[in-house]
Chains A and B, each alone.
Chain A
Amino acid sequence: MFDTLRTLLEFYPDHVSENSTDPDVKEVARLLKMRPLSPFARSIHVRMVDAGSPNDVELEEGLMVSPRVDAERFGIHFVASPRHADVLIVSGPVTRNARIGVLKSYEAMAEPRAVVAAGDGACRGWPLHEIKSHYAIADSGCVKDVIPVDVSVLGSPPNPYQLLAGILKAGMILDQKSRQKK
């Protein structure tokens, strides 16, 4: 019991405020402050699809829900199926073999939905973008050539706070989309 309590004290979450010295934490704090009072902007269910990243974006997403960053305290929750999700995070570059999976995952989502392209690979096909018609890559490797993208998060890979900021932005876009529908 004592051990459990002690470890609880050791593993506290980061303080997220606009006074932070880390620009990524600062940006998250700014976005948290400005997000509207809407279920779509404040409770975001996320599904991730890896389409060709070297598992670095997944590791950073895993750390997004770790006790330090703790994205769940901001209402962000990773779900098991695209059918449960509001936001799809896709990492890339999109390979020839993974393209069908990306398409099917997007098609399975309910409206309104938003897509975040995470990392340089997903946003611009890096580092394979310079090779013309590479046999293993679908089109240019960019996610936007396969499904419509709402938010692009650059970085190789983006760190957990940059990903968090991308998801918060997607939440605001979802909120706008849900209003347009009405």
Chain B
Amino acid sequence: METESRKFIQTVERALAPHRIKESIERDGCIFVEVAPADLVSACTASMSSGAIFDSAFVSAAGPIPSDTFTLYYLLRAPAVSHPMGRMLVIHATGKTFSALSSSVNAALWDERKIMDLTGLKLAGIPDSRPLIFHAESGMPHAHPVGGRHLTPPASTDYPMPGTGAHGEFEVSVGPVHAGIIEPGHFRFHVVGEQINKLEARLFYMHRGIEKAAEGQAASAIMPLIEQISGDESAANSIAYCTAVERALGISVPPRAESIRAIFGELERIYSHLADLGGMPTDVGFYLSASRFAAMREDMMRLNQRVSQSRFLRGRIIVGGVNADIDHQMQGIIKHALADFLQRLDNVERLTLGNSTFLDRVFLTGVVSKRTALDLAVVGPAARAGEISCDLRRALPYSAYALTTVNAVNEPLEKNSDVLSRFNVKLAEVKESARLIRWLIEHMPAGPLNADAVEAAAHSAHAGKTGASSSRAKPPLLGVGWAEAPRGGCTFLVELNSKGVIKRLAGRTASFRNWRSAEKAVLGNIVPDFPLINKSLNLSYAGTDM
């Protein structure tokens, strides 16, 4: 186990000169490697050439406000070679000037554009330097949210979205306010006839600055804020965020709480996937099936209400554990409801997949090639539909999944990476979640629901950590957490001070990772199929924009 995890550090060491690595620590399933700013890109690309997958890039201010010194974190998922558990590789550097990883790793482009907007840093060699978060026509803030440097508004409010230059091509502008009951985002299609040559999405209409709003607050007090990132991923985001905080503070969560959290995560996957499964028939005009899925979703939401007093499973997951039990009676209610649900799901599945009109519309529609998916580091069901295994519950087990290795999560994989594959993957995941919930209920450990005295734990963690690295001036407590949300893996990074107050919160949801694959999935398809393809990926605008 130890040698496996050293392997990646050694790879990085081989790529650089060993003396260039300032520090490498392994803890909580993460390997933290500190390098010089000039070595950051080569350290990342070296790790990726030995099998690590780009996960996310985060930034925090390293000096007093207004700061011109920043710490960049590049998170890479390092797969397991022989040990069942992989590791999250966190390569970070602190300095004033950086180069862009996206000049060689396409997947990092949006992450780095976001970093440039947040901090005002200029990353050398970035292929696209248009602002991502800030829309010049909406007015710019006075200061950069991270680091607090003065923000100079751009000279022009133009946001060029060029086409491919093909003969006879014209533009179709859609949004930000759409025709359906969905969130805002602007799409620019470049089409010849009905065929889409290019699509570019301009998002961040929903940017609420949640990362910034969390700063200066107690880590345990901002659960409502985390639950506002994306409504139907409330539980998964809460689990990922709490894990990050708990790792930073050295809190160990009792096993019963982990089980309950996992049950919430799986209940969330069921109702969230039901929205997509119903959405795909809606967008091909097959309302009989769509309304059945919608009714089943409403029933699952009512079950959520009974289990957690919230239709969105909110307010139950807290730092240190959970704040309410799922007692024996409630376990019975869940099991009964799921058995009933699976039976009806079976009927609706036959109704939907037995319909040739539906199959005709979804088969080989909206294909994301495997190469594109790997290039953009796509996660979640969208990746699994193209035979890319990426379930964090298996690859980097967390929470109860780390405890239940004997009953590993089955990961459904499909080949075609079209709308039908995504439909099948989500259907299989709903059934798998139902199975997992039953298993978790039957094997629910006894014991307390949360780690007592969170602050005491924070204090002792602080004492332990400053002892280990006393040579440096009070580094913030760093924690990285992740969870497999319905749409794929989400990752959170927190920097806390010794009192458990947030210095910096940074997060990335699966939707942020996958949006650019939607731009690729529609190529060669017709404009009327765009809603269908978009629904099959079902990306959350709010989760992307944060």
Contacts and interface: CB of A to CB of B under 8 A. Distances in A.
B181 A11 contact: no
Interface residue range, chain B: 35 or more
Contact of B311 (A7, A50, A96, A159): A159
A81 B348 CA distance: 32
A178 B86 CA distance: 65
Interface-central residue, B139, B295, B312, B542, by most chain A CB under 10 Å? B295
A67 B204 contact: no
B542 to A, nearest CB: 4
Interface string A128-166: 100100111100000000000000000011011000000
Contact of B542 (A53, A78, A80, A101): A53
B275 interface: yes
Contact of A55 (B207, B231, B291): B231
A95 B234 CA distance: 20
B310 to A, nearest CB: 9
B108 to A, nearest CB: 23
A59 B208 contact: no
Nearest to A79: B179
A127 B224 contact: yes
B182 interface: yes
Given A4-B351, A7-B347, A101 B231 contact: no
Contacts of A78: 181
B208 A137 contact: yes
Nearest to B288: A4
B295 A11 contact: yes
Nearest to B237: A54
Interface in A71-109: 78, 80-82, 93, 95-101, 104-105
Given A4-B288, A66-B295, A67-B294, A95 B181 contact: no
Interface-central residue, B177, B297, B542, by most chain A CB under 10 Å? B177
A95 B206 contact: yes
Given A3-B350, A55-B541, A98-B205, A62 B231 contact: no
Interface of A: 3-4, 6-7, 10-11, 48-63, 65-69, 78, 80-82, 93, 95-101, 104-105, 121, 127-128, 131, 134-137, 156-157, 159-160
B209 A137 contact: yes
18 contacts: A7-B347, A7-B351, A11-B292, A54-B230, A54-B231, A58-B181, A60-B311, A63-B301, A78-B181, A95-B205, A95-B207, A96-B139, A121-B228, A127-B225, A131-B213, A135-B141, A159-B311, A160-B298
B182 A58 contact: yes
Interface in B300-339: 301, 311-312, 314
A162 to B, nearest CB: 11
A135 B347 contact: no
B298 A97 contact: no
Contacts, number: 149
A79 B268 CA distance: 29
A81 B179 CA distance: 6
Contacts of B37: none
B344 interface: yes
Contacts of B209: 128, 134-137
A136 B224 CA distance: 18
B542 A55 contact: yes
Contact of B207 (A50, A97, A104, A156): A97
Contacts of A54: 227-231, 234, 542-543
B127 interface: no
B119 to A, nearest CB: 13
Contacts of B176: 98, 101
B100 interface: no
Given A66-B295, A67-B295, A127-B225, A7 B348 contact: yes
B122 interface: no
Contacts of A48: 181
B138 interface: yes
A10 B350 contact: no
A136 B184 CA distance: 15
B344 A10 contact: yes
Contact of B208 (A10, A60, A62, A136): A136
A180 to B, nearest CB: 28
Given A55-B231, A128-B213, A50 B206 contact: yes
B540 A68 contact: no
Contacts of B230: 54-55
